[in-house]
Amino acid sequence: MKNKIKQRNNVNILGNGNQPMVFAHGFGCDQHMWRYITPAFEEDYQIILFDHVGSGKSDQSAYDFEKYDSLHGYADDLIEICDELQLKQVIFVGHSVSSIIGALASIKRPDLFEKLVLIGPSPCYINKDGYFGGFTRQDIDELVETLENNYLGWSSYITPVIIGNPEMPEYSEELRNSFCSMNPEIARHFAKVTFLGDNREDLSKVLTSSLIIQCHPDVIAPVKVGEFVHQQIPNSTYELLDASGHCPHLTAPDKVISHMQTFLNRAD
């Protein structure tokens, strides 16, 4: 069972410390995106990296469209990983959609988590009821179209679905080797679940001490959204980073590390 979950989520463990630090990647990527952050914590923490089912080198066959029809399916996976590895006092670091996945897991099992680090969180991407998420439904449809145009190169429409086709292993291999690769069906579904979900109501239930790292400008999770998350999570710290884009752990890793260290060393 242990191996099954480790395989399912391609769990990798490194580091010399005792306290576990679990990293969860965002939409469109895999655990490799943490490579500039983890070296700073390897000495003092046990680093746990994994891929969400459907992403990276996870077990694609474990992708259950019903289970992963909401972020709760991913939160349950996170809890399962923690339980299987018998982790306690977990420091959870989540990027983008994984911030919310971590938040949901901490609501279900507050006993597991000591602190949450949320990089570019957004509980709801769509503008509605006076709330500004940054996007309209039409924008998300356009994203799905762009994904379809790009997951297998520009000609993906013409070739049949080739991922998982045992008769063309060279294609599957090539796609597996490519960072950010996903089965187009799964990518489409994950995009919809990520960008059309609404977890605003859940934020106030998060009781774990949380750090929100916000970039500026960030078109995916604008400052307004980061501020909203900060307002909603009772025990949260908000840091506005002097960095643009949605992936500060790639573009400004030193700044991210520095804020994390301050937050982790602070006695709550």
Partner 1 sequence: MNFQPFIEDAEDLYQNAPFGYMTMREDGLIVNINATLLKWLDYPRDEIVRQKSFQDFLGMGEKIYFETHLMPLLQMQGEVSEINLSLKTKGLARLPTLINARRILNQSDLQPVYRFSVLDITQRKQYELELKKAREKADQTVLRLKQINQDLEQFAYTASHDLQAPLNTISGLIGLLEKKVKLSSGNNERQYFSLIKSNTQRMKLMIKDLLEYSKIDENELEFESVSLNEVCEFALEMIRDQVNKENATFIIPELPTIYGHKIQLVRLFQNLFSNAIKYRSNEDPIIKVTYEDKGDKIKVLVKDNGMGFEMKYADQIFGFMKRLHSHDSISGTGIGLSACKRILEIHGGTIGAQSVPGKGSTFFFTLPKFPDRENFKG
Q: Which residues bind partner 1 (CB under 8 A)?
A: 26-29, 32-33, 35, 96, 135-136, 138-147, 149-150, 153-155, 157-158, 167, 179-180, 195, 218-220, 244-247, 250-251
Shortest approach of partner 1 to residue 87 CB, angstroms?
Answer: 27
Strands of the 90-95 sheet, one edge to the other: 12-14, 45-50, 19-24, 90-95, 113-119, 209-214, 236-240
Q: Which of 55, 58, 96, 236 is catalytic?
A: 96
Q: Which of 189, 246, 249, 259 is catalytic?
A: 246
Q: Considering the complex, state which of residue 61 and residue 155 has its C-beta at the smaller distance from partner 1.
A: 155
CA dihedral 68, 71, 77, 81 (to 10 degrees): 150
Q: Where is 118: in which H helix or E strand?
A: strand 113-119
Q: Considering the complex, state which of residue 14 and residue 219 has its C-beta at the smaller distance from partner 1.
A: 219
Beta-carbon contacts of residue 8 (< 8 Å; ≥ 6 apart)? 53, 58, 59, 62, 77
Q: Considering the complex, state which of residue 181 and residue 208 has its C-beta at the smaller distance from partner 1.
A: 181
Q: Which of 181, 218, 230, 249 is catalytic?
A: 218
Query: Is 246 assigned a catalytic role?
Result: yes
- Identify the residue whose tokens are 């949380």: 210
Q: Considering the complex, state which of residue 83 and residue 174 has its C-beta at the smaller distance from partner 1.
A: 174
Shortest approach of partner 1 to residue 253 CB, angstroms?
Answer: 10
Report the distance separating Cα 46 and Cα 31, nearest Å. 15
DSSP-derived 3-state class of residue 68? helix
Query: Is 96 assigned a catalytic role?
Result: yes
Query: Is 77 assigned a catalytic role?
Result: no
* Catalytic positions: 96, 218, 246
